[in-house]
């Protein structure tokens, strides 16, 4: 078996893995990254990037049609071909995947295509098309990500019962779509499919859609979705789905305990993801794992010295940007230990300053303490809000539904967290995030002069609301 020594070996070339590998190489470590599928991982290939391409084109499609009809034009959609929209999403994914491969090569990171297994401390065995290889490493990073979680009664066939992967790879629109799970993935697909004319039904076991987001934000999104004709069942339990010829029958029990049968052309199951840790060999090493997640400590090191883990396989938020930042932290830590490089980071990733975003319409973004979590932790807090309807830009672009909500310390006016729902929420949230991270107060944000008219003025006005004098329109 061919064997080669490296400073740093990364297993998984997704956002956590490839960022860590490139950063390690920049810091002078001899680095290899092992990937059994496509470079870029789920995010670039069957997740964040292609889904955002679909969302972008869904918005153009829906808003373009609406504008033309408002202006009195007759819109003929008889030649519409969703396959072209799908091809655009694949092109975006392919371009970025190739871009990552280029960056790995440019930074002299060796890419090894194959399936990796930990065979001992500092040893990675790889099954490649050309035969077995053994990679020796002074430090190893696990960044193998996750996959859609199946549930009994809704086994994936990727034809009628779809995972998010199957949905993204489908070149045709169903006439009707049932979505099980109203989290970020489910709601994003609900928006896309509805915009392209699909009859959409969403079912969620918990009492509201987007259950991980602020309750007020989720209510605004649900109201907008219902107004567009999307059927939503919250507090509903799904017991299974039957494929009957060319359609699917989904069995539900609604919030009142009444049985429902929903006939649809396809069902999308989006009830979470499960970690890709099977077959890595971590059991032989005695690595600490709880409920399927690898437990990490300081600098994301596992219970096995010299082996680190980041991304979806850990207990950190299952977000690409969280994995990337954790990967940077690990690379810098390893370079510090092996090469004496400066280590600028004193702590692991701060969970409270990792933003989340849902890219439906309206968008939702948040970070830090929500009102509910502050209350649960008995932290002294108050909230301030500013509605999008009071913002000139939001009204001008016909996006008046939404609000900025700030959770703050009533004594110091420190920003403890924020939730934004509305136009450009995923972009504008970072102003409050930076202010909170830099320990600025709401007054500091309120005093900053913002260009007019901009959506970001909602941030300024919400900050003024903290001080009791929001005035702008």
User: For the segment 296-315, what is each residue's pLDDT rounded down to a tens digit?
Assistant: 998 999 999 999 999 999 99
- Residue 380: pLDDT band with limits 50, 70, 90: very high
Residue 239: which CATH number? 3.50.50.60
Instruction: Choose the final residue of a domain: 221, 254, 271.
Output: 271
- Residue 198: pLDDT band with limits 50, 70, 90: very high
For residues 310 and 318, is the Cβ–Cβ distance under 8 A? Answer: no
Residue 372: which CATH number? 3.30.390.30
Q: In which residue are the tokens 């109203």 written?
A: 182
Q: Is there a domain that residue 55 lies in?
A: no
Q: Is there a domain that residue 71 lies in?
A: no
Provide the annotated binding site for NAD(+): 181-188, 204, 272
Provide the annotated binding site: 52, 144-146, 181-188, 204, 272, 312
- Residue 443: pLDDT band with limits 50, 70, 90: very high
- Rounded to whole angstroms, how far apart are CA atoms 351 and 296? 14
Residue 455 has pLDDT above 60, yes or no: yes
Q: What H or E segment, with its residue span, contains residue 263?
A: strand 259-264
- On the 0-12 / 13-18 / 19+ scale of CB atoms within 10 A, 360 is buried
Kindly state whether residues 404 and 449 are assigned to the same domain: yes
- Rounded to whole angstroms, how far apart are CA atoms 108 and 220? 48
Q: What percent of the chain has pLDDT over 90?
A: 95
Kindly state whether residues 7 and 98 are assigned to the same domain: yes
Kindly state whether residues 106 and 194 are assigned to the same domain: no
For residues 313 and 276, is the Cβ–Cβ distance under 8 A? Answer: yes
Kindly state whether residues 140 and 6 are assigned to the same domain: yes
Please enumerate in sequence order all residues whose Cβ is within 8 A of that of 189, keeping only pairs 6 or more positions apart, or say none.
51, 164, 167, 177, 179, 268, 270
Q: What H or E segment, with its residue span, contains residue 238?
A: strand 237-244
- Rounded to whole angstroms, how far apart are CA atoms 353 and 405? 16
- Residue 472: pLDDT band with limits 50, 70, 90: low
Kindly state whether residues 28 and 111 are assigned to the same domain: yes
What are the two backbone dihedrals, phi and then psi, of residue 63, each rounded to the nearest 5 degrees? -75, -35
| Tens-place pLDDT, residues 102-139 | 999 999 999 999 999 999 889 999 999 989 999 999 99
Which is higher by pLDDT, 472 or 71?
A: 71
Kindly state whether residues 380 and 445 are assigned to the same domain: yes
- Rounded to whole angstroms, how far apart are CA atoms 15 and 203? 30
Kindly state whether residues 12 and 119 are assigned to the same domain: yes
Kindly state whether residues 167 and 188 are assigned to the same domain: yes
Kindly state whether residues 309 and 288 are assigned to the same domain: yes
Q: What H or E segment, with its residue span, contains residue 208?
A: none
Stretch 414-425: mean pLDDT, rounded? 98
**What is the β-pairing status of strands 176-180 and 161-162?**
unpaired
- Residue 347: pLDDT band with limits 50, 70, 90: low
Total of domains in the chain = 3
- Rounded to whole angstroms, how far apart are CA atoms 315 and 354? 13
* Domain range enclosing 447: 362-467
Provide the annotated binding site for FAD: 52, 144-146, 312
For residues 363 and 218, is the Cβ–Cβ distance under 8 A? Answer: no
Q: Is there a domain that residue 60 lies in?
A: no
Tokens of 130: 């050309």
Q: Is there a domain that residue 283 lies in?
A: yes
What are the two backbone dihedrals, phi and then psi, of residue 116, each rounded to the nearest 5 degrees? -100, 145
Q: Is there a domain that residue 355 lies in?
A: no
Kindly state whether residues 388 and 424 are assigned to the same domain: yes
Instruction: Choose the final residue of a domain: 248, 271, 294.
Output: 271
Kindly state whether residues 171 and 192 are assigned to the same domain: yes
What are the two backbone dihedrals, phi and then psi, of residue 450, each rounded to the nearest 5 degrees? -105, 145
| Active site residue ranges | 452
- Rounded to whole angstroms, how far apart are CA atoms 436 and 306? 33
> What is the pLDDT at residue 442?
97
- Residue 154: pLDDT band with limits 50, 70, 90: very high
Residue 349 has pLDDT above 90, yes or no: no
Chain centre distance of CA 299: 22
- Residue 407: pLDDT band with limits 50, 70, 90: very high
Using alpha carbons, select from 396, 413, 410 the residue that is nearest to residue 457. Answer: 396
- Rounded to whole angstroms, how far apart are CA atoms 254 and 455? 38
- Residue 345: pLDDT band with limits 50, 70, 90: low
Stretch 79-99: mean pLDDT, rounded? 96
Please enumerate in sequence order all residues whose Cβ is within 8 A of that of 212, keeping only pairs 6 or more positions apart, or say none.
183, 184, 356
């Amino acid at each position: 078996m061919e064997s080669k020594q490296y400073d740093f070996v990364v297993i998984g070339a997704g956002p956590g893995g490839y960022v860590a590998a490139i950063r390690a190489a920049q810091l002078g470590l001899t680095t290899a990254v092992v990937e059994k599928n496509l470079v870029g991982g789920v995010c670039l290939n069957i997740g964040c990037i292609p889904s955002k391409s679909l969302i972008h084109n869904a918005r153009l499609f829906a808003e373009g049609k609406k504008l033309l009809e408002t202006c009195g034009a007759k819109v003929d959609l008889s030649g519409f071909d969703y396959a072209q929209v799908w091809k655009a999403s694949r092109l975006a994914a392919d371009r970025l995947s190739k871009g990552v491969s280029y960056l790995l090569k440019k930074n002299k990171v060796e890419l090894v295509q194959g399936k990796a297994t930990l065979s001992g401390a500092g040893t990675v065995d790889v099954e490649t098309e050309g035969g077995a290889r053994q990679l020796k490493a002074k430090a190893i990073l696990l960044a193998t990500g996750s996959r859609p979680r199946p549930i009994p009664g809704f086994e994936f066939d990727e034809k009628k019962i779809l995972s998010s992967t199957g949905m993204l790879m489908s070149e045709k629109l169903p006439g009707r779509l049932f979505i099980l799970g109203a989290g970020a993935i489910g709601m994003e697909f609900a928006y896309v499919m509805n915009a392209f004319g699909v009859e959409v039904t969403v079912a969620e076991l918990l009492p509201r859609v987007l259950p991980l987001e602020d309750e007020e934000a989720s209510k605004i999104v649900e109201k907008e979705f219902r107004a567009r004709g999307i059927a939503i069942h919250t507090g509903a339990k799904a017991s299974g789905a039957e494929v009957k010829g060319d359609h699917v029958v989904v069995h539900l029990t609604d919030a009142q305990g009444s049985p429902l049968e929903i006939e649809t052309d396809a069902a999308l199951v989006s009830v979470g993801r499960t970690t890709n840790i099977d077959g890595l060999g971590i059991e032989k090493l005695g690595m600490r794992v709880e409920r399927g997640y690898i437990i990490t400590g300081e600098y994301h090191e596992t219970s096995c010295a010299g082996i680190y883990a980041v991304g979806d396989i850990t207990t950190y938020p299952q977000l690409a940007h969280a994995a990337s930042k954790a990967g940077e932290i690990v690379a810098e830590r390893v370079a510090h230990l092996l090469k004496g490089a400066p280590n600028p980071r004193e702590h692991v990733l701060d969970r409270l300053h990792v933003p989340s975003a849902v890219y439906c319409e309206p968008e939702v973004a948040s970070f830090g303490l929500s009102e509910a979590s502050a209350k649960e932790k008995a932290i002294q807090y108050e909230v301030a809000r500013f509605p999008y309807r009071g913002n000139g830009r939001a009204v001008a672009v016909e996006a008046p539904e939404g609000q900025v909500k700030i959770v703050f310390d009533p004594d110091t006016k420190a920003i403890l967290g924020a939730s934004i729902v509305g136009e450009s929420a995923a972009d504008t949230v970072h102003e409050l995030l930076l202010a909170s991270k830099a320990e600025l107060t709401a007054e500091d944000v309120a005093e900053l002069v913002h260009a007019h008219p901009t959506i970001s003025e909602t941030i300024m006005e919400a900050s003024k609301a903290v001080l009791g004098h929001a005035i702008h329109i």
